[in-house]
């Protein structure tokens, strides 16, 4: 038998009302809080997003020199972030996505570097 909902519970039995800690109930089962359901994208939409991401990343990666890859070890992460940002905005063309990602790299590398005197 479970205690009434408004009864004060300790951490060890049924959880704590004040802090939300979970504990073991009277029947020895762990009590949980119901999570809100997440809305999922249809499988076609997810597959299309993966395909767009993969194509755009391959196109962009081919246009980066080995020297630039060595000089900027985080370049892949920057391409990834740029492509994801564009996909969230609704971009549909992998060539334009890759072009924009490369443009973002140029903006980043140009702003962060200083010329030697």
pLDDT in tens, 85-97: 999 999 999 999 9
Quote the pLDDT of residue 64: 95
Quote the pLDDT of residue 45: 85
What are the CA-CA distances from residue 3 to residues 8, 10, 14, 28, 86 (Å)? 9, 12, 9, 13, 51
Given pLDDT bands bounded at 50, 70 and 90, which one contains residue 3? low
Task: Return phi, psi of residue 13, to 5°.
Answer: -125, 100
Quote the pLDDT of residue 21: 56
Given pLDDT bands bounded at 50, 70 and 90, which one contains residue 117? very low
Which residues, in sequence order, are bridge partners of residue 24? 13, 30
Task: Return phi, psi of residue 85, to 5°.
Answer: -60, -40
Task: Return phi, psi of residue 30, to 5°.
Answer: -75, 130
Residue 8 confidence (pLDDT) above 60: no
Which residues, in sequence order, are bridge partners of residue 30? 24
Distance (Å, whole) CA 49 – CA 88: 9
- Which among 2-6, 36-40, 84-88 has the top mean pLDDT? 84-88
Distance (Å, whole) CA 96 – CA 101: 9
Quote the pLDDT of residue 114: 44
Given pLDDT bands bounded at 50, 70 and 90, which one contains residue 60? very high
Quote the pLDDT of residue 116: 45
**Cβ 34 vs Cβ 10: under 8 Å:** no
């Amino acid at each position: 038998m479970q205690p009434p909902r408004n009864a004060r519970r300790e951490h060890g039995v049924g959880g704590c009302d004040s802090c939300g800690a979970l504990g073991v109930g009277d029947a020895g089962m762990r009590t949980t809080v119901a999570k809100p359901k997440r809305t999922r994208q249809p499988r076609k939409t997810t597959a299309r997003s993966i395909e767009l991401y993969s194509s755009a990343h391959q196109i962009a990666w081919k246009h980066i020199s080995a020297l630039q890859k060595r000089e900027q070890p985080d370049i892949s992460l920057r391409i990834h972030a740029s492509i994801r940002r564009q996909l969230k905005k609704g971009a549909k063309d992998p060539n334009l996505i890759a072009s924009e990602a490369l443009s973002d790299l140029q903006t980043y590398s140009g702003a962060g570097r200083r010329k030697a005197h």
